[in-house]
């Protein structure tokens, strides 16, 4: 910044000793109250400090922020004075300079967009080591935020999450990849029979009990475990049974190398005998989620039996020896097992789930508590649908959701009674909502008279002719079957 002379009329000479750009430091702003103004080249300055040798003014300059003006009054500047001033007083300019054109400013965010047609991210990537904001501006922003913390927030070691009246410890050291993700838009049941089921399942999960959770598709059996693992950072080993799939590699199989034959130990066997390590290397006993266990074929059932035998705290090794399960160093417990299925182990004679097979009674006896899952109350289910489809929720009214709820209740009741061979799960409801969105977009937001009926065609077309006819009759808005009464559990499914 150039030093200059400012002449007062007649006898006095005011000498600008140094001009220091600042950004409104708090200690200077306090002196502005009642200070006498002084004009410097058309800008109004305020006296903030004075002694017999110096007068200090603060000056607000447009585009530049605040400027401190140090003035030595009542003397003419001699060459020696000037030399002294130049060696002891240095103009301060803390603005950042553009690496492309040299433009200076305390913030280059707008400049790089307007002058160089670049986003801040593109500029920083192309010019490493060059900032976009000056430290003075950062200090000013921080000074305007009392109590702002610049250090990382420490995570308490005893972090807990509240679920269903329980305070459950959160394992902050367990990696996200070892836990299950929470389903999109998931909501814990808050009403009806599903809430009672959730409370029972949660009680078993919290206390480390083994659970056999069964019920129709779409009742959220696996979702409960997913949400529990996600919120508590509980490590989970998940195995889904699919007819015909070879699951032996997940336990152990014969292998051969240059040293001869041996065993390749699978991840499932390691998890149950060694635990799963957290970020610090501490091993924890996992929760096993065995999904669709009633679809296991005869070969898979034998491996399933091996796991169920381990519920007693031991498992057979590849050599046939009995090995103790890994015991958690915190809880003192071994692996916990949650099995989910569509049937209660007796298979499905109605044809809805033809892949469901009977489960040996001796295996069922080992699987812990039996809990029958229920569909969510429509208030909870519609909440999830609206959260996952906000565009539809914004365009349709309560009549649409009430109509969809009535149709869902009527159809599910008929399905459970065996009048229709089908399933109407959250996936099916999601398809209906997405089709409704497509219809509205195609009509540019214009609401058709029978939007719900048009959207439900995508589900009806998945049925054969006899089931489609009965389903459409039940879903007819003019049908008396839709006039369902609310009981203490909500819509009577």
Give pLDDT tens digits for 396-405. 988 999 999 9
Average pLDDT for the chain: 76
pLDDT at 137: 77
Task: Choose between 148 and 240: higher pLDDT.
Answer: 240
Assigned CATH topology for domain 160-372: Rossmann fold (3.40.50)
Quick one: tokens of 54? Answer: 């110096």
Q: β-strands 336-341, 287-291: how paired?
A: parallel
pLDDT confidence tier of residue 260, bands split at 50, 70 and 90: confident
Domain range list for the chain: 5-88, 96-143, 160-372, 378-491
Q: Is the pLDDT of residue 322 over 90?
A: no
Task: Choose between 76 and 433: higher pLDDT.
Answer: 433
pLDDT confidence tier of residue 115, bands split at 50, 70 and 90: confident
DSSP state of 311: G
Task: Choose between 361 and 103: higher pLDDT.
Answer: 103
pLDDT confidence tier of residue 94, bands split at 50, 70 and 90: confident
pLDDT confidence tier of residue 16, bands split at 50, 70 and 90: very low
Instruction: State the average pLDDT over residues 179-208.
Output: 91
Q: Residue 308, Cβ neighbours under 10 Å: how many?
A: 24
Instruction: State the average pLDDT over residues 420-437.
Output: 92
Contact 21, 64 (CB under 8 A): yes
pTM of the model: 0.64
Instruction: State the average pLDDT over residues 71-98.
Output: 55
Q: Residue 417, Cβ neighbours under 10 Å: how many?
A: 8
pLDDT confidence tier of residue 493, bands split at 50, 70 and 90: very low
Q: Strand, helix or coil at 369?
A: strand
What is the distance between the alpha carbons of residues 51 and 449, in angstroms, rounded to a whole number? 84
Asked if the domains 96-143 and 160-372 are classified in one and the same CATH topology, the answer is no
DSSP per residue, 88-105: H-------EE-TTT--EE
Going by C-alpha positions, the residue among 300, 222, 309 that lies closest to residue 272 is 309
Q: Residue 324, Cβ neighbours under 10 Å: how many?
A: 11
- Give ∠ CA 484-488-491 in degrees, rounded to 5: 30
Task: Choose between 340 and 315: higher pLDDT.
Answer: 340
Instruction: State the average pLDDT over residues 218-247.
Output: 91
Contacts of 360 (CB under 8 A, 6+ apart): 301, 305
pLDDT at 236: 95
Instruction: State the average pLDDT over residues 349-373.
Output: 72
Return the CATH number of 96-143, one of 2.60.120, 1.20.58, 1.10.10, 3.90.1690: 1.10.10
pLDDT confidence tier of residue 371, bands split at 50, 70 and 90: very high
pLDDT at 403: 92
Q: In terms of DSSP H, where are the helices of 153-209?
A: 192-206
What are the beta bridge partners of residue 167? Answer: 162
Task: Choose between 55 and 169: higher pLDDT.
Answer: 169
Instruction: State the average pLDDT over residues 7-18.
Output: 36
Instruction: State the average pLDDT over residues 209-231.
Output: 91
pLDDT at 1: 31
pLDDT at 183: 87
Q: What percent of the chain clears pLDDT 70, i.e. is strictly above it?
A: 72
What is the distance between the alpha carbons of residues 452 and 102, in angstroms, rounded to a whole number? 61
Q: In whole angstroms, what separates CA 451 from the centre of its chain?
A: 33
């Amino acid at each position: 910044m150039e030093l200059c002379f400012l002449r007062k009329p007649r006898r006095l000479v005011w000498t600008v000793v140094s001009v220091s750009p600042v950004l409104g430091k708090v200690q200077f702003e306090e002196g502005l109250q009642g200070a006498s103004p002084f004009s410097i080249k058309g800008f109004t300055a305020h006296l903030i400090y004075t002694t017999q040798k110096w007068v200090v003014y603060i000056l607000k300059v447009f585009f530049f922020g605040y400027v401190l003006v140090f003035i030595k009054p009542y003397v003419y500047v001699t060459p020696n004075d000037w030399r002294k001033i130049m060696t002891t007083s240095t103009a301060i300019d803390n603005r950042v300079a553009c690496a492309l054109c040299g433009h200076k400013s305390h913030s280059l965010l707008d400049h790089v967009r307007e002058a160089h047609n670049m986003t801040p991210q593109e500029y920083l990537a192309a010019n490493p080591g060059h900032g976009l904001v000056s430290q003075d501006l950062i200090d000013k922003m921080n000074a305007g935020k009392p109590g702002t913390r610049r250090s990382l927030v420490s995570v308490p070691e005893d972090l807990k999450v509240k679920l269903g009246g329980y305070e459950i410890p959160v394992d902050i050291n367990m990696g996200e990849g070892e836990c299950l993700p929470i389903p999109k838009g998931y909501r814990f049941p808050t009403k009806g029979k599903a809430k009672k089921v959730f409370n029972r399942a949660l009680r078993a999960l919290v206390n480390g009990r083994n659970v056999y959770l069964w019920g129709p598709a779409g009742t959220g059996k696996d979702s409960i475990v997913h949400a529990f693992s996600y919120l508590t950072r509980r490590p989970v080993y998940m195995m889904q049974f699919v007819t015909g799939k070879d699951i032996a590699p997940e336990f152990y199989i014969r292998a051969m190398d240059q040293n001869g034959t041996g065993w390749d130990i699978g991840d499932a066997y390691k998890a149950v005998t060694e635990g799963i390590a957290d970020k610090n290397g501490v091993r924890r006993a996992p929760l096993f989620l065995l999904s669709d266990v009633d679809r296991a074929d005869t070969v898979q059932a034998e491996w399933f039996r091996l796991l169920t035998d381990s519920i007693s705290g031991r498992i057979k090794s590849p050599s046939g020896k009995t090995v103790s399960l890994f015991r958690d160093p915190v809880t003192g417990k071994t692996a916990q097992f949650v099995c989910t299925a569509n049937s209660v182990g007796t298979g499905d004679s109605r044809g809805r789930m033809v892949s469901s097979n009977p489960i040996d009674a001796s295996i069922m006896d080992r699987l812990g508590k039996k809990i029958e899952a229920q569909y969510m109350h429509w208030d909870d289910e519609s909440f999830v649908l609206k959260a996952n489809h906000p565009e539809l929720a914004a365009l349709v009214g309560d009549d649409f959701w009430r109509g969809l709820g009535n149709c869902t209740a009527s159809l599910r009741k008929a399905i459970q009674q065996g009048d229709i061979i089908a399933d109407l799960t959250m996936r099916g409801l999601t398809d209906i909502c997405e089709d409704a969105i497509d219809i509205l977009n195609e009509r540019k937001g214009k609401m058709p008279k029978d939007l719900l009926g048009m959207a439900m065609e995508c589900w009806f077309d998945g049925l054969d002719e006899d089931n489609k006819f009965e389903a459409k009759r039940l879903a007819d808005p003019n049908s008396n079957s839709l006039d369902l009464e609310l009981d203490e559990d909500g819509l009577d499914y």
